């Protein structure tokens, strides 16, 4: 509907001004404060941001500077991004849970002069590395608590900065005109934001995105999913992640819909229920956790409810997806589904907070086919998309009605996608990044001579559907010694689809066979232990329990049978496994902040375990350094058992597979 | 409100003074002729080996036990006998060594219970929940939400406390005590049974309560690191007798204290 209206606005501040004019009284943001949802309309938001930008300008912030944004999803931090952009300042969001080293790396690399942070925790973290940040001059913070006694020569409360700006604007009429000129001076080709990659592949890089490209990509998907100012989203994804900036911030400003900020990180799922968003994104992991929670609670439900739940979930599995895809369904199927909706699906979606969802996406990792169809069969329009920071997340998405659990959809409008000879996916797109900040070498490495960007992901277009399928990181697809194809991600994802397995790391490249390290899921296995009177005192003890080993072994054997069904993957069956004594943790650098396993690092860290997987021993000792939340380090030692797994015998690999 | 600095405290107004208090249960003399004072705005620690009479001392302060001898002066008013109800009404709140919450009630309701004494409308009004009683409840709820925000327990607002881990139960209990907006907060082993991270969180909350609300705090604690970091002054009891009183550093260097903790041949 708004396509004509947002044509002239080529920067986000201009969009904000437009929204205040067009949807002045509609909610722009909601935030739960002291247990009550507070609403900020577009007009109020613009007013606040103008005052904030003026206040920041009075503190010395000027066009061309960079400003770090550190904290959780709070309206004032989003306002900080807007205020910076209004002044022609480049915002640089940093992951709120980044440890001091990561934080100082990004802030120093981006040469930030200002930082807008959430609270005392972040102020302390930045102060602790201030000697590495010579360019940092001023910090503004949202939450006053605990900060009163700090030296306030370079530290200001956002509230005071905004109040100061508002007063100045009221007193000096020329200031408002100056601010209007600042907004008008912003060009579409200006750098809108620098987003640092999460560092799956080493040191994080600053991805420079321009305003017109961000808005170009955002406008296309707003049209693709028909998002309007009447939609609502829950902004709970990390502020520094491209997904949040794109799906919530950019789409929100373009379509004019309302972003609701959760009360705190822990309450996101409860807030989801209260807000009832119409547009929802979650990584597969979150959908998985939601389902695990439902399954566990159903185990505790009364006999009748349990029977009813499983019966109607069965009905949904038979007819639900077909109904959603508008295919032929027999009448009694429709009637049963209707009854199921009244008795089970609608109440269930209500409990999960998904009742109003019109468009839902998942991305980041492969989603289990069962998991995917579970949500779809309930009547939720869950789809997959594929993208990366360098493309402003905008490459492929599944259109309504063309949904497959193992594809990520066809190229989106205006995206030019191709597969290179080595299987790598490459693109040219509206949201394409400008460069890596201060790293021309990396920028050159990533671009092809003819102007395509290399994604680093291996994939192919599915013959039947024309959709893109992503197999793995291009450099991760390996081969066993006998030449059998070894796609580690594929195996890991298959394993992770078992509720008991939270994380799996597969090894096999240039080895004789495939072996895996497993992280159990404490919620699922813990609940199983409770039901079966298995006593344990710690994660480590539960992970090493023989009965847990038996259970995981059964899971792996089941996966081996499914791998054996396909000639290409039959050779990659898992022969040996172990269960790790600790959870892989971002603080120890084992997974990224977006919870992706850093395979190389893990291999190095657990080298003795991997050696033992391949030398036939039945147990191995390991001691690793762990980092506590406050940054101190300790050592964790354990003896880990290793087991063999039954495999399905297969014919020698075909030449084609090798 | 601002928390006074150390020098302010030294010169500060006395909030509570204990003079020559003795308490015995039959033949057992739990407290013998102990005197000390608590000044406005300070964090005062009471330490001592097991059985030294620390908890008895707290129970004397909030009127649960009646001492046989001695005087207790709170806010300039001297009382020999005081009931816990009067203590609570007078502005003394406490937490317990073994968490004493209403197990079946949510964290929110438990903290709301701390507002009971602040409710002006009677029981019937509260049941009806209309008109002025409703307005009042909304106001109390707002105060409780501030405490929930302060203690960062939003996520467990509606969870029955029996289902919460111990560390969080302790936090809810602190919340209930804070809901009374006390002038003097008595904490009986706030860190007992906690892991390091929980202890650090709790320490921060205690500092913040003292700093943010200006609440005077008297605490019993066994973790010496915590005591030395948190408190402005420390009083040491041993077998019901006061053996030292002063700043953490002075107390640490006191030979009697070292003997009491490490033990000497009597």
CATH class of the structural domain A478-644: alpha beta
Element (H, E) at B11: helix B6-11
Domain regions of chain A by residue span: 12-281, 284-473, 478-644
Yes or no: say if A205 and A435 are a contact pair by the CB < 8 Å rule.
no
Q: What's the rounded Cα separation, in Å, for the pair B231 and B215?
A: 13
Q: Which residues of A touch B212 (CB under 8 A)?
A: 145-146
Nearest to B61 by CA among B104, B16, B101, B25: B16
Torsion of CA A104, A105, A107, A109, to 10 degrees: 150
CB A365 within 8 Å of CB A284:
yes
Q: How confident is the model at residue B264 (pLDDT cuts 50, 70, 90)?
A: low
Q: Which residues of A touch B168 (CB under 8 A)?
A: none
The tens digit of pLDDT for each residue in A288-326 reads: 889 988 888 888 889 999 999 999 999 998 998 888 888
Choose from A40-44, A267-271, A503-507 the range with maximum mean pLDDT.
A40-44
Least Cα distance to B159 among A355, A266, A34 occurs for: A266
SS3 assignment for A579-605? ECCCCCCHHHCCECCCCCECHHHHHHH
Q: Collect all residues with Cβ–Cβ distance below 8 Å to B175 and sequence separation of at least 6.
A: B107, B110, B111, B114, B144, B147, B148, B151, B153
Cβ neighbours of residue A388 closer than 8 Å, sequence gap 6 or more: A242, A395, A455, A457
Picking from A34, A265, A631 by the largest number of B CB atoms within 10 A of its own CB, the best residue to mutate is A34
The beta strands (E) that lie in A416-462 are given as 416-419, 424-428, 435-436, 453-461
The strand pair at B216-220 and A619-627 is best described as unpaired
User: Under CATH, which architecture does the B1-91+182-266 domain have?
Assistant: 3-Layer(aba) Sandwich (3.40)
Q: pTM for the full model?
A: 0.78
In this structure, are strands A155-157 and B28-39 parallel, antiparallel, or unpaired? Answer: unpaired
User: ipTM for the complex?
Assistant: 0.73
Helices B196-208 and B166-179, interaxial angle, to 10°?
10
Note the pLDDT tens digit of each residue in A468-525: 888 777 777 777 888 777 878 878 888 988 889 999 999 988 899 999 999 999 888 9
**Model confidence over A323-357: pLDDT tens digits?**
888 888 899 999 999 999 999 999 999 999 999 99
First-last CA distance in chain A: 52
Dist. CA B51–CA B240, nearest whole Å:
8
Chain A closest-CA separation from residue B23 CA (Å): 40
| B69-74, strands of its sheet edge to edge | B28-39, B14-25, B69-74, B77-79
Model confidence at A598, pLDDT cuts 50, 70, 90, reads confident
Q: Say how far residue B248 (Cα) sits from the centre of its chain.
A: 19
Q: Please, are residues A411 and A397 in contact by the beta-carbon 8 Å criterion? A: no
Structural domain spans, chain B: 1-91+182-266, 103-181
Mean pLDDT of A607-629: 86
Question: Are A263 and B154 a contacting pair at CB < 8 A?
Answer: yes
Equal fold, A12-281 vs A284-473:
yes
Backbone dihedral angles phi then psi of residue B234, each to the nearest 5 degrees:
-130, 135
Query: Homologous superfamily of A12-281 in CATH?
Result: ANL, N-terminal domain (3.40.50.12780)
**Closest Cβ–Cβ partner in A34, A264, A629 for B146:** A34
How much is the pLDDT for A658? 36
Measured between beta carbons, which residues in chain A are less than 8 angstroms from residue B146? 34
Position A3 pLDDT exceeds 60: no
Instruction: Give the burial string for A43-54 (b: 16+ CB within 10 Å, else e).
Output: bbbbbbbbbbbb
- pLDDT tens per residue across span A234-254: 999 999 999 999 999 999 999
Residue A261 has pLDDT above 90, yes or no: yes
**pLDDT (0 to 100) of residue A568:** 58
Cα–Cα distance measured from residue A579 to residue A545, given in angstroms and rounded to the nearest whole number: 10
Selected residue with higher pLDDT from A497 and A153:
A153
Helix extents (H) in A262-302: 268-275, 284-299
Q: What is the pLDDT of residue A554?
A: 94
Q: What is the mean pLDDT of residues A217-239?
A: 93
Among B2, B144, B154, the residue to mutate for chain A (most A Cβ within 10 A): B154
Per-residue pLDDT at A656 exceeds 50: no
Q: Any idea which fold A284-473 has?
A: Rossmann fold (3.40.50)
Tokens 């009931």 identify what position? B83
């Amino acid at each position: 509907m708004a396509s004509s209206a947002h044509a002239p606005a080529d920067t986000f501040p201009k969009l904000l001004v437009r929204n205040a004019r067009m949807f002045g009284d509609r909610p722009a943001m909601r935030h739960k404060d002291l247990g009550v949802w507070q609403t900020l309309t577009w007009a109020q938001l613009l007013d606040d941001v103008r005052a904030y930008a003026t206040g920041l300008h009075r503190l010395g912030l000027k066009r061309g500077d960079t400003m770090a944004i550190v904290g959780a999803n709070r309206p004032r931090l989003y306002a900080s991004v807007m205020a910076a952009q209004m002044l022609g300042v480049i915002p640089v969001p940093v992951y709120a849970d980044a440890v001091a080293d990561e934080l100082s790396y990004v802030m120093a690399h981006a040469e930030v002069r200002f930082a807008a942070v959430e609270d005392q925790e972040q102020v302390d973290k930045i102060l602790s590395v201030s000697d590495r940040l010579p360019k940092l001059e001023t910090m503004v913070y949202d939450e006053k608590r605990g900060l009163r006694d700090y030296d306030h020569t370079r530290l200001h409360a956002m509230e005071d900065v905004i109040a100061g700006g508002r007063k100045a604007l009221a007193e000096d009429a020329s200031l408002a005109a100056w601010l209007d000129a600042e907004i008008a001076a912003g060009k579409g080709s200006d750098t809108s934001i620098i987003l640092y990659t999460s560092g799956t592949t080493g040191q994080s890089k600053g991805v420079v995105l321009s305003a017109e490209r961000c808005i170009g990509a955002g406008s296309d998907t707003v049209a693709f999913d028909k998002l309007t100012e009447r939609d609502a989203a829950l902004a709970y994804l990390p502020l520094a992640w491209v997904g949040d900036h794109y799906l919530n911030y950019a789409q929100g400003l373009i379509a004019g819909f309302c972003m609701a900020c959760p009360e705190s990180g822990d309450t996101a799922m409860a807030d989801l229920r209260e807000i009832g968003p119409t547009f929802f994104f979650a990584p597969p992991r979150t959908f998985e956790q939601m389902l695990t929670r439902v399954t566990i609670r159903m185990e505790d439900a009364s006999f009748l409810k349990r029977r009813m739940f499983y019966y109607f979930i069965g009905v949904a599995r038979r007819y639900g997806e077909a109904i959603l895809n508008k295919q032929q369904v027999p009448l009694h199927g429709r009637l049963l589904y209707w009854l199921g909706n009244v008795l089970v699906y609608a109440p269930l979606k209500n409990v999960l907070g998904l009742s109003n969802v019109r468009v839902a996406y998942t991305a980041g990792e492969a989603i289990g086919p069962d998991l995917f169809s579970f949500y779809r069969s309930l009547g939720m329009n869950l789809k997959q998309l594929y993208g990366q920071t360098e493309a402003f997340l905008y490459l492929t998405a599944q259109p309504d009605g063309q949904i497959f659990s193992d594809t990520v959809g066809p190229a989106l409008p205006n995206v030019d996608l191709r597969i290179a000879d080595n299987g790598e996916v490459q693109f040219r797109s509206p949201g394409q990044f400008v460069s890596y900040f201060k790293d021309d070498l990396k920028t050159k490495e990533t671009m092809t001579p003819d102007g395509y960007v290399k994604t680093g992901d291996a994939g192919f277009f599915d013959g039947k559907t024309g959709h893109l399928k992503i197999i793995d990181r291009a450099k991760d697809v390996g081969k066993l010694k006998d030449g059998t194809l070894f796609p580690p991600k594929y195996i890991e994802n298959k394993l992770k689809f078992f509720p008991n397995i939270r994380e799996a790391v597969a090894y096999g490249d240039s080895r004789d066979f495939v072996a895996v390290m497993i992280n159990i899921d404490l919620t699922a296995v813990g609940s199983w232990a409770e039901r079966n009177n298995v006593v344990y005192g710690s994660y480590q003890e539960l992970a090493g329990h023989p009965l847990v080993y038996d259970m995981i072994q059964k899971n792996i054997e089941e996966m081996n049978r499914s791998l054996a069904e396909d000639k290409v993957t039959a050779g990659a069956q898992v022969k040996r496994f172990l269960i790790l004594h600790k959870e892989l943790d971002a603080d120890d650098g084992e997974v990224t902040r977006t919870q992706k396993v850093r395979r190389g690092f893990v291999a190095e860290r657990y080298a003795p375990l991997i050696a033992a997987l391949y030398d036939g021993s039945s147990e191995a000792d390991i001691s690793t350094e762990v980092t506590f939340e406050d940054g101190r380090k300790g050592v964790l030692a354990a003896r880990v058992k290793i087991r063999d797994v039954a495999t399905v015998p297969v014919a020698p690999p075909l030449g084609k597979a090798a | 409100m601002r928390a006074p600095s150390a020098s302010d405290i030294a010169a500060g107004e006395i909030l509570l003074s204990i003079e020559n208090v003795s308490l015995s249960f039959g033949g057992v003399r739990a407290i013998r002729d102990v005197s000390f004072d608590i000044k406005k705005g300070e964090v005062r620690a009471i330490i001592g080996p097991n059985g030294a009479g620390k908890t008895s001392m707290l129970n004397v302060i909030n009127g649960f036990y009646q001492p046989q001898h001695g005087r207790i002066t709170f806010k300039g008013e001297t009382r020999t006998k005081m009931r816990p109800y009067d203590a609570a009404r007078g502005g003394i709140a406490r937490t317990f060594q073994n968490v004493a919450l209403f197990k079946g009630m949510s964290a929110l309701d438990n903290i709301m219970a701390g507002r009971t004494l602040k409710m002006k409308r009677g029981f019937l009004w509260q049941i009806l929940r209309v008109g002025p009683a409703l307005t009042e409840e909304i106001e109390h709820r707002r105060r409780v939400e501030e405490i929930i925000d302060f203690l960062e327990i939003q996520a467990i607002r509606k969870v029955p406390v029996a289902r919460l881990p111990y560390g969080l139960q302790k936090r809810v209990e602190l919340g209930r005590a804070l809901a009374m907006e006390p002038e003097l907060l008595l904490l009986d082993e706030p860190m007992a049974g906690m892991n390091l991270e929980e202890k650090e969180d709790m320490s921060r909350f205690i500092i913040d309560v003292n700093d943010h609300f200006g609440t005077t705090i008297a605490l019993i604690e066994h973790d010496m690191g915590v005591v030395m970091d948190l408190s402005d002054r420390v009083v040491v009891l041993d077998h019901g007798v006061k053996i030292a009183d002063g700043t953490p550093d002075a107390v640490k260097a006191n030979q009697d204290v070292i003997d009491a903790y490490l033990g000497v041949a009597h």
